[in-house]
Amino acid sequence: MKRRNFVKSAAATGIGLLLLPGFAGNSQSAGSKLNIALIGAYGRGNSFWEILKTENVVALCDVHADNMALAAKEFPNAKRYTDWRKCLDQKDIEAVIIATPDHHHAFIAIWAMNRGLHVFCEKPLGECVYEAREVRKTYLANSHKLATQHGTQRHANENFDRVEELIRDGAIGELQIVQAFGNRTHNSTGYLPAAGPAPDTIDWEQWIGPVQMHPYNPAYFVGKPGMNCLQWNMYHDFGSWQVGDMGSHTMDLAWNAIDAGIPTSIEVTGDPYNNEVCPSDLHAIFAMPANKWRGEFQLEWFQGTLRPESPHKAIDISQIGHGVLFRGTKGVLLADFGSRMLIPVSKSGDMTYYDSPSAKRIAPAHGDFVQQWLTACKGDLKTSCDFDYAGRMIETLMLGLVAHRAGKKLEYDSVAGRVTNDSAANDYLTKEYRNGWVLNG
């Protein structure tokens, strides 16, 4: 197989953008400091503290007063907010990092971009198909002047690029099936019960934000910093469980290699639908359209206790927590975040069909993932996980939850963003928001 030249693009979407080297969408020089707002100042937010000390943190936003106090010790000159909408009105902010609970992500990202701000948003970019599409749409309208990065930090692992090079250069022959999987489970059956009023240190109204009101329960906050999402992201209004959590990371390992557009059909099996919590076990099958360098193929997502079939009896898939199987006409590639295993399946197994990449073809190291975004804000705006790339991936994953709720195979028009064979399923593409909360504000 001849090696293909390629450009990572908005495949099969009809939307494209070329940024020439040296182009800058703003006047920020590479040596100057950005004025940054950290929204979600502790928990996941504290993972940014050290690198942000190289910039100017001018605003902090958090609904938890105790957490705000910890962040304020690190950035004593930053103004403080509990309502991110008021925070975004601060005139000297140039860039925003979003490390809030998932149900705020799309809202803050869109509002920030509408105000001309660069955005780093922790995963997932949105919590439903509509949110993912709106974030991507807003970014594409502003991509000539804004740098964005989706918080799939594992993307900087060199293994992601080595996997991509093997797949693109034909190490497994023609791509046929891609199977991403993750092993986290939960046993929740419904929202937590009321447990009295929230303490004065927590602004529960702002924590709930745009979704439907639910009573306060302290168990939503008992997780460790950086892992507190596992206390609330299984509930539909607050998250999407592993579809949006580790699914974002694991699917990114596949997405980096397959240069994908949006699926044309989705079929799902798993736990019975529950209108309060996301399924623990889920298996989604997406029919993915062809592009310039490969044909149509089947993309799958497994979570919970479900796993793809092992490519060889000597390999125990259950020992891999999160990984991807790439199945082709001449071989199989099994990868996790840091390693990969190539298994030829042709009769000869001699690999003569495979032209290994030259040194020029090997992608250079990414460096620090957050620093890549900070540098892009001051220069060419180019990042490896911008909101076009991430928007397509999250839209795809969220379509899995739509098909799960519909309970049938769905046909999807990616241009219109509509299900074509079940009009009722189109109601599942979005969420119901509380009065006064606007997604595109």
| pLDDT tens profile 330-362 | 999 999 999 999 999 877 678 888 888 888 889
Average pLDDT over residues 84-102: 98
Residue 13 has pLDDT above 70, yes or no: no
Q: Which of 8-22, 23-37, 253-267, 350-364 has the lowest mean pLDDT?
A: 8-22
pLDDT value of position 30: 59
Kindly state whether residue 108 falls inside one of the protein's structural domains.
no
Number of domains in the chain: 1
Task: Spell 26-52 as b/e; 16+ CB within 10 A means b.
Answer: eebeeeeebbbbbbbbbbbbbbbbeeb
Q: How far apart are CA 47 and CA 49, in angstroms?
A: 6
Q: How far apart are CA 15 and CA 415, in angstroms?
A: 10
Residue 11 has pLDDT above 50, yes or no: no
Assess whether the previous peptide bond of 76 is cis (omega < 30° from 0): no
Residue 12 has pLDDT above 70, yes or no: no
> Inter-axis angle of helices 158-168 and 246-258, to 10 degrees?
40
More confident residue, 160 or 12: 160
Return the sign of the alpha-carbon dihedral for residues 32, 40, 48, 232: negative
Kindly state whether residue 139 falls inside one of the protein's structural domains.
no
Average pLDDT over residues 361-378: 95
Residue 8 has pLDDT above 50, yes or no: no
**Reported confidence tier of residue 6, pLDDT bands at 50, 70, 90:** very low
Kindly state whether residue 163 falls inside one of the protein's structural domains.
yes
Residue 83 has pLDDT above 50, yes or no: yes
pLDDT value of position 224: 79
**Reported confidence tier of residue 293, pLDDT bands at 50, 70, 90:** very high
Using DSSP's 3-state secondary structure scheme, residue 58 falls into: strand
- For residue 256, give the DSSP letter: H
pLDDT value of position 136: 98
The pLDDT tens digits of the residues spanning 106-124 come to 999 999 999 999 999 999 9
More confident residue, 16 or 284: 284
Kindly state whether residue 320 falls inside one of the protein's structural domains.
yes
Average pLDDT over residues 210-232: 91
Bridge partners of residue 148, in order along the sequence: 119
pLDDT value of position 10: 39
**Pair 369, 172: CB distance under 8 Å:** no
pLDDT value of position 23: 28
Kindly state whether residue 7 falls inside one of the protein's structural domains.
no
Using DSSP's 3-state secondary structure scheme, residue 437 falls into: coil
Kindly state whether residue 213 falls inside one of the protein's structural domains.
no
Query: Residues of the chain with pLDDT > 70: what percent?
Result: 93
Count the Cβ atoms, other than its own, within 10 Å of residue 423: 9
Q: How far apart are CA 53 and CA 46, in angstroms?
A: 12
Average pLDDT over residues 155-159: 97
Average pLDDT over residues 266-278: 98
Kindly state whether residue 121 falls inside one of the protein's structural domains.
no
Kindly state whether residue 216 falls inside one of the protein's structural domains.
no
Please report, in angstroms and rounded to a whole number, the separation of the first and last CA atoms in the chain: 49
Residue 20 has pLDDT above 60, yes or no: no
pLDDT value of position 18: 28
Query: Residues of the chain with pLDDT > 90: what percent?
Result: 87
Q: How far apart are CA 430 and CA 388, in angstroms?
A: 19
Count the Cβ atoms, other than its own, within 10 Å of residue 228: 17
Residue 61 has pLDDT above 70, yes or no: yes
pLDDT value of position 352: 86
Residue-range definition of the domain harbouring residue 269? 157-186+242-360+388-429
- The enclosing domain of 286 has a CATH number of 3.30.360.10
Distance of CA 152 to the CA centre of its chain: 6
Q: Note the helical H segments in 259-355.
A: none
Residue 430 has pLDDT above 90, yes or no: yes
Q: Average pLDDT of the chain?
A: 92
